[in-house]
Amino acid sequence: MSFEIHSRDLSARIGQVTTKNGVFETPTLLPVINPNVQLISPKEMMDEFGCEALITNAYIIKKTFEEEAVEKGLHDFLGFPKSVMTDSGAYQLLIYGKEVQLSNEEMIRYQEKIGSDIATILDVPTGWRVTRQYAEFTVNETFKRAKELAKIKSRSDIAWVGPVQGGSYLDLVAESAKKMRKLPFQIHALGSPTPVMEQYLFSTLVDMIVTAKLNLPSERPLHLFGAGHPFMFALAVALGCDLFDSAAYAIFAREGRYMTETGTARLNELEYLPCPCPICSRTSPEGLLAAGRMERQRLLARHNLYVCFAEIKRVKQAITEGRLWEHLAIRARAHPSLYSAAKQLSKYSRFFEENNPVTKSSGIFFFDSLDLSRPEVVHYKERLTERYAPPKTAKALLLLPQTKTKPYHKSWEHQEALRKVQHELGNKLSKILHACTYAAPFGVVPDELDEVYPLSQHETASPLDRETVDHVANQVSDYIARNREHYRKVVLVENTEAWGKEITSACKRVCKKFSIPLLTVGQE
């Protein structure tokens, strides 16, 4: 197997996975195929949905169709000639425990016999709400089984998945990832996320994914087991997940649940079908309810799968445009738990900043304080602090409020304000002024940096929320304090309509602390 990365945004990447039976693009959704119950056949997924890869359960196939699948080969058995990933039965082991009688060696050899493209060792899932002792056991036992792979396998044309365990014990997730990275797996997977997602514990999921990513090789794709609903795809992709599997499209259909990109609805509660897919454009809620049970399930499953694939395409388009953060922020407002998870991203600002492209082909949008954590803002703050020094000729700091026109220093408001300040201070002092703009979300923007991306390539919503105003005020205060040996005077042009008294108060506090003269000028 090979994995080539073509485009990045945040920690997401559009890449290409090549297996012995095909090529597919990441991020990708692998629909789960249950060989016993198929509301949508693999061939239909390929022909109707353009599906390039799917996942099925080798344990279920072995239990029910053992010899048939071996004789035909996995791809002929499913009627799907492209890439097929197999799970090993670990989920059944998690649910049914000792009732599942199988061994790691048995499942490795069986997946080789049927010819999986991507196969999974029989790991031991940590699960949810387990003791630390048991979680440690799952990490150690999974690693033990992972090491067995090299001695058991006989084929070199199958890509193997090395699962990471540990559950909600993040130190164990890190330990598991560090152990698994030492072994020659082509793909890694985060184990035990399903209970977390079912309970909408998306903040915990953020911690688990980032902890795994920080300790796994970046060149290997990461698979997220059981990422069922499209409303969280953007979050998972932004965190660096490349592959997902989901049976939710079929499970929800059997329950009469209708997927949208922002949630689910009960079919019997809908007045309209708010979707342009081929299913919804030809019928109505009443039409679906009037259909027979199996036909209704098949139609709902098709709609649900259309929604899933459409969201993956939206995420990919956002990556190519450099707008995944904006897309993620929109999706995060679909549910309070998702929004809480989006806020959680501020803990990992360095993780995103290190992976995010420094420049992009498009500008960025700033809406509210959630966006203070986006990598571009963090990157600028760090670079201004660590690498910037004011011009040597500048002895007085002039702080001007942001304008709608960019770059700021070319706006008529700044030209007028500068003339007013020069008139009040006289030519002698005005010649040593260093003009900077205080602006959301970046804080202090020196004129000489004004046209550097993304300082002039962004749009900010107004009025600003309190957290954003406080953030900029703190950045102004920190900038003055950091350069207190450089500036002999600070001149502030106020804009109380947009900023209230926060910027003025911040300047007064820091100037008083370091005995720097402060002159405030009202903006007309």
**Is residue 102 within 8 Å of residue 114, measured between CB atoms?**
no
Cα–Cα distance for residue pair 188/177, rounded to 1 Å: 9
What pLDDT digit, counting tens, does each position of 32-52 carry? 999 888 899 999 999 999 999
Q: Which residues contact 257 (CB under 8 A, 6 or more apart)?
A: 264, 265, 266, 267, 300
Q: Which residues contact 410 (CB under 8 A, 6 or more apart)?
A: none
Side chain identity at residue 436, one-letter code:
C
- pLDDT (average), residues 319-328: 94
Cα–Cα distance for residue pair 361/77, rounded to 1 Å: 45
Cα–Cα distance for residue pair 143/178, rounded to 1 Å: 10
| CATH number attached to the domain at 2-351 | 3.20.20.105
pLDDT band at 92 (very low <50, low <70, confident <90, very high): low
**Is residue 418 within 8 Å of residue 471, measured between CB atoms?**
no
- pLDDT (average), residues 303-324: 95
Instruction: Note the pLDDT of residue 430.
Output: 62
Instruction: Note the pLDDT of residue 426.
Output: 67
Sign of the four-CA dihedral 446, 384, 332, 273: positive
pLDDT band at 100 (very low <50, low <70, confident <90, very high): low
What pLDDT digit, counting tens, does each position of 405-439 carry? 999 999 998 988 888 887 777 666 667 889 999 99
Cα–Cα distance for residue pair 369/440, rounded to 1 Å: 10
- pLDDT (average), residues 339-361: 88
- pLDDT (average), residues 82-94: 82
* 291 CB neighbour count, 10 Å cutoff: 15
Cα–Cα distance for residue pair 193/98, rounded to 1 Å: 21
**Is residue 31 within 8 Å of residue 249, measured between CB atoms?**
yes
Residue written as token pair 């080789």: 112
Average pLDDT taken over every residue of the chain: 91
Q: What is the pTM of this model?
A: 0.90
- pLDDT (average), residues 346-359: 86
- pLDDT (average), residues 482-508: 91
**473 token code pair:** 């005020």
What percent of the chain shows pLDDT beyond 70? 96
Instruction: Note the pLDDT of residue 427.
Output: 64
pLDDT band at 99 (very low <50, low <70, confident <90, very high): low
pLDDT band at 68 (very low <50, low <70, confident <90, very high): very high
**Is residue 242 within 8 Å of residue 208, measured between CB atoms?**
no
Active site residues: 87
Q: Which residues contact 332 (CB under 8 A, 6 or more apart)?
A: 235, 338, 339, 341, 342, 370
* 25 CB neighbour count, 10 Å cutoff: 15
- Judge whether residue 339 has pLDDT over 70: yes
What pLDDT digit, counting tens, does each position of 357-384 carry? 888 888 899 999 999 999 999 999 999 9
Instruction: Note the pLDDT of residue 210.
Output: 96
Reduce the DSSP state of residue 460 to 3 states and report it: strand
Cα–Cα distance for residue pair 109/105, rounded to 1 Å: 6
Range scoring the smallest mean pLDDT among 124-128, 245-249, 519-523? 519-523
Residue written as token pair 């297996």: 19
pLDDT band at 476 (very low <50, low <70, confident <90, very high): very high
- Judge whether residue 460 has pLDDT over 80: yes
Instruction: Note the pLDDT of residue 98.
Output: 61
Instruction: Note the pLDDT of residue 114.
Output: 97
- pLDDT (average), residues 141-169: 95
- Judge whether residue 237 has pLDDT over 90: yes
Q: Which helix (H) or strand (E) is 189 found in, with range?
A: strand 187-190
Domain ranges of the chain: 2-351, 364-522
Reduce the DSSP state of residue 247 to 3 states and report it: coil
**Is residue 89 within 8 Å of residue 57, measured between CB atoms?**
yes
Angle between helices 202-214 and 170-181 (to 10 degrees): 30
Q: Which helix (H) or strand (E) is 219 found in, with range?
A: none
Instruction: Note the pLDDT of residue 331.
Output: 95
Q: Is the CATH number of domain 364-522 3.40.50.10630?
A: yes
Reduce the DSSP state of residue 148 to 3 states and report it: helix
Instruction: Note the pLDDT of residue 362.
Output: 83
What pLDDT digit, counting tens, does each position of 106-133 carry? 999 999 999 999 999 999 989 888 999 9
- pLDDT (average), residues 51-59: 95
Cα–Cα distance for residue pair 482/462, rounded to 1 Å: 29
